[in-house]
Structure 1
Amino acid sequence: MASENVVIRAARPGDCEEILRMIKELAVYEKMPEKATLTEEALRDDAFGDQPYYRALVAEVGSNLTDRTKLIGYAMYYFCYCPWLGRGIYLEDFYVEPAHRGRGIGTSIMKEVAKIGVKHRCNKMQWVCLNWNDVAVKFYQKHGGKDVTVEEKWHLFRMDQQELAAFARE
């Protein structure tokens, strides 16, 4: 096998097709493929339009023997605010292709998001994880993540588009 070099970099508009491919792979893994309805155009507009709603990093692998590169992972994040602590960074989505796991790529991506948070004077980084994903839970705990569901007894609530629109009309 050819030697590969992995680079973690900010996503560019041309990366959206590959990011969407990985989002769909993650949705299959999370047993919710029907929920991944986002389009490449929306993904691009929402990150690179006039008012970005998220930012992303990608992991790109290139071979020493060719000039070809391939995206093998990504992290989507955005800044948030906590009235108790102030600035925060929210890790919305995080994925490394299965064939490239166990080589420190996920740690490198997550560490880059953490560095961005520190650079922007964030007081916390937050994310969610499915309760059955023991591999991810152990990964996050290994890197200092705390399960606030257990420790602080928080519940995460959500309104999807239909509920949001109905509530707004009331």
Structure 2
Amino acid sequence: MLISKPFTPQWQVRPATLADLPEVHKQMQQLADFEGYLTDFCVTENDLIELGFGCDPQFNLLVASQNGKLGGYAVLVYQQFSYDLTPVATLKELFVAPAYRSTGAGQALFQAVIQTAGDYGACRMDWLVLSNNTRAQQFYQQQGGHPSSQWIRYEIALQRSD
């Protein structure tokens, strides 16, 4: 007797709407908790509206939805030009809610991010992965990504003049 898995509808990836922001914000907090900076997390829903939905959006915000549920989101930003005068895309965040992991939501988001960056005219895309997040590293390698052998990320904390 052949037993088939129940049909799982495909994830729809689309630009976020204002109605998505409460759930996206909640998921951003979950990511901040996972990555260890929840106490410093200060993004509000109003910040997302001002920076992402105004006349000069500072980022692309994509969401993966299925049957009315928001399974995850991705944030994409651009450096306007590099050595060859083409923009470089940076995937700042890709998060899939725990209940939706291993359902294809992450892959759908990642493919949509690649398409969005290409449509923008970006020549390449980069992103960071926590060194101890082996699950994410495996996921990105399955998508064709690889660690850079040419660059080492450095950082310095700057004082803000608010």
Q: Deviations over 1:100-147 (max 9, x none)?
A: 111211011010010112222211011111111111111112212121
**Which runs of 5 or more residues in structure 2 are unaligned?**
1-5
SS class of match (1:126): strand
Contact 2:51/2:59 (<8 A) preserved: yes
State percent identity of aligned pairs.
Answer: 25
With structure 1 as the length reference, what TM-score do the two structures score?
A: 0.82
Distance 2:36 2:161 in 1: 26
Contact 1:4/1:61 (<8 A) preserved: no
Contact 1:11/1:56 (<8 A) preserved: yes
Deviation at 1:22, TM superposition (A): 0.2
Deviation at 1:39, TM superposition (A): 0.9
Which structure has greater helix proportion? Answer: 1
Q: 1:112 to 1:50 in 2, by over 3 A?
A: same
**Which runs of 5 or more residues in structure 1 are unaligned?**
63-68
Contact 1:91/1:127 (<8 A) preserved: yes
Instruction: Return the match for 2:51 from 28, 46, 55.
Output: 46
Distance 2:18 2:157 in 1: 29
With structure 2 as the length reference, what TM-score do the two structures score?
A: 0.86
SS class of match (1:71): strand
Q: How many residues were matched structurally?
A: 155
SS class of match (2:128): coil
SS class of match (1:152): coil
Q: How does 1:152-167 map to 2 (within 5 A)?
A: 152-160=150-158, 163-165=159-161
What code does the residue aligned with 2:104 have? G
In structure 2, the residue matched to 1:77 is 76
Q: Cα RMSD over matched residues?
A: 1.9
